[in-house]
Structures are given as structure tokens and as C-alpha cells.
Amino acid sequence: MSTEPLDDADFDVPADADPARCPDCNRPFVREELLELHRGYDHPEALDETETTAFEEAYEAESERLNVFRLKALLALILLYFVLLMAYAVV
Amino acid sequence: MDPYQGRRSRRLLTALGTLLGLVVIAVPVAAHGGSLGAEARETVTVPTWLFLLTGGAAVGASFLLASFATDRRLIDGIHGWRRSIPVPRSNIPVAIIRVAGVLGLAGIVAIGYLGPDQGLGNLAVLAVWVGWWAGYTATAYLLGESWHVLNPWRTISCWLPSLDRDLPAVGAWPSVVGLLALIWIEVVSPLADAPALLTAVVLGYSAVTLAGAVVFGADTWFERVDPVSRVFHYYGHVAPIASAATATDADREVLDDGQLPLRGPGVGLTRPDLLDDASEVAFVVALLWATTYDGFVATPAWRTMARPLVEAGVPAHLLYPLVLAAGFVLFLAVYRLASRYARPTGETHLSADVLSRRFAPPLLAIAAGYHLAHYLGYFLSLVPVLLTVLGSPLSPPVTVPVFSLPGWFTGVPVASILVGHLLAIWIAHATAFELFPGRLQAIRSQYPFIAVMVLYTMTSLWIVTQPSIQPPFL
């Protein structure tokens, strides 16, 4: 859960990037939403009310996209199964 | 690395068809054995492309299934599970194991020279390949790593003085070169047919190892340079029983209470500090490549590829190490490319170097799966020979019993390979969830690595479907 010790040398931020940096541990993130998730997991005690809400919203929004992903994964599994089934039936 | 399995003896076993057969010891134990050799090679009744597709699809499907596990508490719960095994607080067992290791080494050297000169009748050959490399190595990833205690060279080096010179900052590269060199020796020489040659190699390895331990100090040498110790150290992280060297933070708490921790298989591979730098990643890739190379040089495809080069005047003895090095560089390049692609797919600013260090340990589970697939049958069938010859090492009986494996056993190698891959996928999944705050981000970061695993599976399966020949032009 991103709790492991990482320092600046472990990151490779492109010169033209504008990373969202964690105010607590200075870790750079590609998107604001990932930063909100990181703070919720790793620095829950440092969050004020708005930030806690931001974490919860980011989590909910991610859950929705995760559900879509799961549907796609399930579809891919079914497809894979039938393609192989057909292949074995034909050859 | 190393000679390995009894290609010819395995075929012989199959031909015997009885549960316990007798073999005349003049039969060579196995000139050289590929990790992807006869043991794993089976007659496939479906077209090769479909066989490869199925293998690749199995790996891809396992990833899709693992991606449904996105609950961090679930993953933490599985990985945090521990049981303690009480152990006696005494140094006597350790001392006995150390002495046994040294006596074993002395016995192997003596019998290698004095014993019979057929592989199957010589205790030195059987002890090294059947007892040690096939059987003992499996205990390192199935039970726990114990080589740091048994290692006879380490025990001997404790009795020797030490100059304690500083090792130059070369990372694990000497181990990588050492591992590739051992594999090269194994492939090009009939190590399992010629006991005297095997003994010479053991003595050569001893000389290099002990000299290194004297110059740089035993701890430095065995922890950073010696390739054999490194293989066991990494395999130990796959194992369910942790030692001080293979412990995660949770294991250390149990160890501090004077007990041995029992954990889920592969959990040790999630240690963030398991691989410290790019050279250690290279070692893991070299271990995996060794498995492939060993099998590849015993395929007719390799003979077809090598023939024009050999006919054009390239010496075969140069061609083998060249291909060994080139293939390793190719494997490493593909893996590093995957680490670079994981940055955009995982939407992260973590450097490609960190990603490659964290996602390489799961490959060790795959390597362990292949090792088990290739050596379990070899080990079981030749263990009776080992035990028989152990009784009279200098004048073994003319016929020795071999255990003929039942027909259903052919499913065991396939299952081992599959379990290794499943474990690797799960560990990579858990590692991704440790590294990334986003759940989708964690799943997507694995795409390039899964692609590499699918490719690797298909390559290995392709080798498995090829007929097995003796490495040509040697």
C-alpha cells in the first residue's frame, strides 16, 4: 500500500511534467486523484475533512471504473474460453 | 545451470514400463540435461500453435482472474498470515549439518576419482546431480533455504584466514557471469558421464570460491559473488519457511521470538529490498534464461540455425557461449523494456529501475516451477540408484534399481509449471498493490510484465514440443 520507503532517487519525473506532490512525503503522482488516494491510505491522520472527502470521492470514482474494468475482464475471459473451445473443436 | 537430467535414462525408464526396473550401470546417467529437456517433453496431439496459444492464454487468464482481487485487506491478510514453528535453541544441529556438508564434499571429490567411471554407478555424479541439484535444490523453494548452513565451502572458509579486501562496486555482475559460465560448462561438457571431469569442475569451483572467500571475506563472497549461493538465496524467498536471510519484516518478528516463521509460498518475494540494483535483476533474468538456453540448444531448430555458421567456420565452442550471452542480453533487454512501458501503463513517476527491481522477484517463482517440472521425475526415478550406490560407493552392484514413474506422472511437470506461473502472477499483483495507491493503476502497471510472461511461456512451451537431441557440433 505504497508504505514502503521510497526517496527521490526512486522517481524519474520528466522535465516537462507537473506532478502532484504529496505535502507529507513529497512523493510525485501523475494525477491529482492518485495523490488523494495515496494520502488516504498512507497519511490518514494528516487529512482534514475536505481531504478525507476528496479521498472518499476518489475511491468511489475509482470503484466505478473498476467495475467497468471487471466487466471487460469477464468478457475477455469468456471470449478467450470460447475461442479456445472453438479452436479445439475445429482442429 | 548444470547437467541435469537423465535424458537417455529417462527414456530407458519409460521403456522399462515396470514400477521398479533394474538398469545396468554402464548406461550413461545423462550426458547433459536441459532444463527444458526430455523430462518435460511430451508428445502433443494438438497442433503446436494451439498448444502455445493455450499456454499463453492460461497465463493471461490467470492475470484477468487475479485482477478481480482488488481488496487491499484481502491481499494484506493473505500475505500477513504466519505460523510459528518451534525450534530447539541449540547450535548442535547446525554444527552437524556443517560438518556433514564438508564430509559430503570430500566424499564426492574422492569417489569422483576413485569410484567407477560410469555416471550411473558413480556416487559422486549421483550425489551432485540427483541428490544435490535435483533434490536438495527443490527443498530450497519447497521448504526453506538451508544452503547458507550446509554450504561446505562456507564452512571451510571459516577455518581459513581472511584478507578482508574491499570488493569493488561491481554489484551482482560477477554472480551473473559466474552463473552463465557454470551453465556453459554444463552444456558443452559431458559432466554427468565423466565422474573425473565432474570432480575436476568441483575442484576448480572450490579453488575459485575459497580463494575469493579468503581475499574478500566469506560473508562478502557468498552473499555477493558466489552464483550458487545466490541461486539458493533467491529460491529461498519462494519457500514457505523463512530464515534470517529470507525473512520479510513479518517473518523477522517471529524469528526474534526464537521460532521459525511459516508463510504462504512466494510471500518472501514481495520483500521490497530483495533486489537492490539492476545487476541483481540481471541475475534473476539470467536464471530464467538459463532454463530456456539449456532446452533450446537441444532442439533440432538450434541445429538448423547453427549449421550454416559452423559450416562457415565458426567454432562450435565459440558459438555456444556467444548464443548464451546474446540470449541473455536479449532477455534482459525485453524485461527492461517492459519495465519502461510499465511507467505509462501504470501512470507513475516511479523510475523504470524501481519497477524492474520490484517486478523481477515473481520470475523466481516461475524458475522454481520449471526446476520442479524438470527434476522431480528425474529425482524420484534415480533416488533408488543413489541409495543403492551409497551402500557400496567403490564397487556398486552391476544392476541398480530405478523407480519407473507411473503414467499419470506426466501431468506433474505441466502442473508445476502452471503453479509457478500462477504464483508469479499473484506475487506481481500483490507487489503492484503495494506500490500504487490506485487499484486500476496497480492492475494496469502489470500489463507489460504479463505480456512478457505470456511470451516467455509460449517460448518455453515451444521448446517443450520440440524433439530433444544431443546439443550438436560438440
In-domain check, residue B471: no
* Angle ∠(B327,B329,B334) on CA atoms, nearest 5: 95
Whole-angstrom distance, CA of residue B7 vs CA of residue B28: 10
**Which among A11, A42, A66 has the least Cβ separation from residue B349?**
A11
Query: Closest Cα of chain A to B68: distance in Å?
Result: 7
Whole-Å CA distances, B431 to A10, B75, B175, B435: 16, 10, 26, 6
Residues in contact with A77: Cβ distance below 8 Å, sequence separation at least 6, in sequence order: B61, B64, B65
pLDDT in tens, B12-51: 333 333 334 455 554 444 434 434 444 455 555 778 899 8
Cβ–Cβ gap A66/B46 under 8 Å:
no
Provide the pLDDT for residue B27: 45
Chain B residues with CB under 8 Å of A38 CB are: 437
Whole-angstrom distance, CA of residue B125 vs CA of residue B385: 11
**Cα(first)–Cα(last) distance of chain B, in Å?**
18
Whole-angstrom distance, CA of residue A65 vs CA of residue A62: 5
Judge whether A86 is closer than 8 Å to chain B, CB to CB: no
Cβ–Cβ gap A30/B347 under 8 Å:
yes
Q: Is the pLDDT of residue A2 over 50?
A: no
Whole-angstrom distance, CA of residue B466 vs CA of residue B40: 10
B464 in Cβ contact with B295 (< 8 Å): yes
Best of A38, A43, A84, A85 to disrupt the B interface (most B CBs within 10 Å) is A84
Nearest to B425 by CA among B405, B452, B407, B462: B452
Judge whether A18 is closer than 8 Å to chain B, CB to CB: no
Residues in contact with B121: Cβ distance below 8 Å, sequence separation at least 6, in sequence order: B25, B26, B115, B389, B396, B400
Provide the pLDDT for residue B7: 39
A50 in Cβ contact with B38 (< 8 Å): no
Judge whether B354 is closer than 8 Å to chain A, CB to CB: yes
Residues in contact with B201: Cβ distance below 8 Å, sequence separation at least 6, in sequence order: B185, B189, B191
Q: Which long-range contacts (CB under 8 A, 24 or more apart) does B311-320 make?
A: B316/B472, B316/B473, B316/B474, B317/B188, B317/B474, B319/B473, B320/B184, B320/B187, B320/B188, B320/B471, B320/B474
DSSP for A49-67, written as a single string: HHHHHHHHHHHHHHHHHHH
Residues with pLDDT less than 50, chain B = 1-21, 26-39
The pLDDT of A66-70, averaged and rounded, is 96
Give pTM, 2 decimals: 0.90
Helices (H) and strands (E) in chain A, counts: 2, 2
A54 in Cβ contact with B34 (< 8 Å): no
Provide the pLDDT for residue B45: 72
| CA-based torsion, B383, B384, B387, B393: positive or negative | negative
In-domain check, residue B239: yes
Judge whether A77 is closer than 8 Å to chain B, CB to CB: yes
Judge whether A85 is closer than 8 Å to chain B, CB to CB: no
Q: Is B71 left (phi over 0), alpha (psi -120 to 50) or beta?
A: beta
Provide the pLDDT for residue B35: 42
Confidence of residue A5 (pLDDT cuts 50, 70, 90): low
Whole-angstrom distance, CA of residue B185 vs CA of residue B1: 9
Q: Which long-range contacts (CB under 8 A, 24 or more apart) does B199-207 make?
A: B199/B108, B199/B109, B199/B112, B199/B113, B199/B124, B202/B105, B202/B108, B202/B109, B202/B112, B202/B128, B203/B109, B206/B105, B206/B153
Whole-angstrom distance, CA of residue B329 vs CA of residue B341: 18
Specify the residue for cell string 508445476: B416
Q: Virtual CA dihedral for B247, B249, B255, B260, nearest 10 degrees?
A: -50
Beta strands in A1-91 (DSSP E): 20-21, 28-29
Where are chain A's structural domains?
8-90
Cβ–Cβ gap A12/B436 under 8 Å:
no
Judge whether B438 is closer than 8 Å to chain A, CB to CB: yes
Best of B273, B349, B358 to disrupt the A interface (most A CBs within 10 Å) is B349
Cβ–Cβ gap A2/B434 under 8 Å:
yes
**Which among A13, A17, A65 has the least Cβ separation from residue B440?**
A65
Cβ–Cβ gap A37/B437 under 8 Å:
yes
Cβ–Cβ gap A1/B437 under 8 Å:
yes
Chain B residues with CB under 8 Å of A26 CB are: none
Judge whether A51 is closer than 8 Å to chain B, CB to CB: no
Provide the pLDDT for residue A52: 94
Whole-angstrom distance, CA of residue B21 vs CA of residue A57: 69
Query: Closest Cα of chain A to B466: distance in Å?
Result: 20
Q: Record the cell numbers describing residue B159, joined without a space.
A: 577455518
Backbone angles phi, psi at B399, to 5 degrees: -110, 140
Provide the pLDDT for residue B89: 78
Provide the pLDDT for residue B399: 83
Cβ–Cβ gap B57/A10 under 8 Å:
no
Judge whether A1 is closer than 8 Å to chain B, CB to CB: yes
Q: How many CB pairs under 8 A join A and B?
A: 89
In-domain check, residue B473: no
B2 in Cβ contact with B186 (< 8 Å): yes
pLDDT in tens, B157-209: 999 999 989 999 999 999 999 999 999 998 888 888 889 999 999 999 999 99
From A72, which residue of chain B is nearest by alpha-carbon distance?
Answer: B64
When the pLDDT of each residue in chain A is averaged and rounded to a whole number, the result is 90
The pLDDT of A72-91, averaged and rounded, is 93
SS (H, E, C) B436-457: CCCHHHHHHHCHHHHHHHHHHH
B233 in Cβ contact with B175 (< 8 Å): no
Domain coverage including residue B362: 7-465
Query: Closest Cα of chain B to A85: distance in Å?
Result: 10
B178 in Cβ contact with B226 (< 8 Å): yes
Cβ–Cβ gap A4/B434 under 8 Å:
yes
In-domain check, residue B470: no
